[in-house]
């Protein structure tokens, strides 16, 4: 007789402040084929879900993309990397890991690449879509907590917030810029978020269908928040950890770009 092993539900791995003790989605979450042992110290999402897609927009990320994807793939088989017309070997590096790789023939911007990945995921039956950054600043360990409220049917959208969690070594200029973005988003969209420009987000299918990113470049982050509000779908902020490395900081937005992004967003809103 086989000994009973309690299944490791993925919200148990990294409980968030919002995780309910009794989860109505429990039966649905029973792992079909656990990849990692329940005693795994990191305890990532332990269930393989074929209806969960992780979308990564990558532009000239050949150095980082393979690591990022291979951290995710053992636990999440549907990783969609959208190479946004990179000049380097991003697509080839990503393809070598076994991820689904789409390639924009021309560089269209991060917003456009994310929408491509989301559209692909929806076309292939995604029930849950996660957006994840390509530069290695997000931790796969945050995904269980990010997804739990959606899988449980409590909300449709979960937005990662680095200010609810704790991020390692965030430079002051970055903190000021991000806080500025939060205030900007509060004024333009009316949503009281703690972190407006975090690339780690999770959507239910319903929410992903309601999202239509039209601002191709960096202003898509504010546009997305607008659409979260106008969709009327319930959302929640979940604390996530950001790993700031020299690489991710170099790849990130410069403080001087903030004005251009804000202008792009405002014009896009006027002309929409």
In the complex, the residues that contact another protein under the rule CB under 8 A are 77-78, 82-83, 85, 89, 91-92, 94-106, 108, 112, 115-116, 119-120, 123, 214, 216, 271
Which of 86/188 has CB closer to another protein?
86
Minimum distance from CB of 193 to another protein (Å)?
26
CA distance 64 to 57: 12
Q: Which is nearer to another protein, 1 or 87 (CB)?
A: 87
Task: Output 115 or 137, the one with its CB closest to another protein.
Answer: 115
Taking the least distance from each CB to another protein, the nearer of 57 and 158 is: 57
- Sequence-ordered list of residues with C-beta below 8 angstroms from that of 250, at least 6 positions apart, any chain: none
Tokens of 188: 């333009």
Tell me how far, at minimum, the Cβ of 155 lies from another protein, in Å: 28
Taking the complex as a whole, the smallest distance from the CB of residue 95 to another protein amounts, in Å, to 4
The encoded tokens of residue 199 equal 């690339």
How many Cβ atoms sit within 10 Å of the Cβ of residue 1?
3
Q: What is the DSSP string of 211-228?
A: ------STTHHHHHHHHH
CB of 139 to another protein, least distance (A): 23
Using DSSP's 3-state secondary structure scheme, residue 243 falls into strand
Judged by beta carbon, residue 114 or residue 181, the one nearer another protein is 114
**264/251 Cα distance (integer angstroms):** 20
Contact by Cβ (8 Å): 76, 55? no
Instruction: For the CB of residue 171, give the shortest distance to another protein in the complex, in Å.
Output: 32
């Amino acid at each position: 007789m086989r000994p009973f092993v309690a299944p490791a539900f993925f919200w148990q791995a990294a409980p968030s402040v919002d995780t309910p003790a009794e989860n109505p989605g429990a039966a649905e979450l029973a792992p079909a084929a656990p990849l990692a042992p329940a005693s795994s110290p990191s305890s990532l999402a332990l269930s393989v879900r074929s209806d969960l897609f992780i979308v990564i927009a990558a532009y000239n990320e050949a150095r980082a993309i393979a690591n990022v994807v291979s951290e995710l793939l053992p636990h999440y088989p549907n990783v969609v990397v959208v190479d946004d017309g990179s000049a380097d070997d991003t697509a080839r590096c990503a393809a070598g890991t076994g991820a689904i790789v789409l390639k924009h023939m021309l560089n269209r911007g991060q917003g456009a690449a994310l929408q491509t990945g989301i559209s692909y995921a929806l076309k292939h039956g995604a029930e849950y879509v996660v957006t994840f950054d390509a530069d290695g600043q997000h931790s796969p360990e945050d995904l269980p907590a990010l997804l739990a409220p959606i899988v449980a049917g409590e909300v449709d959208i979960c937005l990662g917030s680095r200010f609810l969690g704790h991020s390692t070594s965030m430079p002051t200029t970055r903190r000021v810029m991000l806080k500025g973005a939060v205030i900007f988003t509060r004024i333009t969209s009316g949503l009281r978020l703690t972190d407006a420009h975090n690339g780690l987000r999770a959507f239910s299918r319903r929410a992903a269908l309601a999202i239509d990113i039209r601002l191709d470049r960096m202003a898509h982050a504010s546009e997305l928040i607008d659409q979260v509000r106008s969709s009327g779908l319930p959302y929640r902020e979940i604390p996530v950890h950001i790993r700031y490395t020299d690489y991710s900081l170099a790849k990130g937005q410069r403080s001087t770009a903030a004005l251009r992004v804000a202008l792009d967003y405002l014009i896009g809103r006027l002309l929409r």
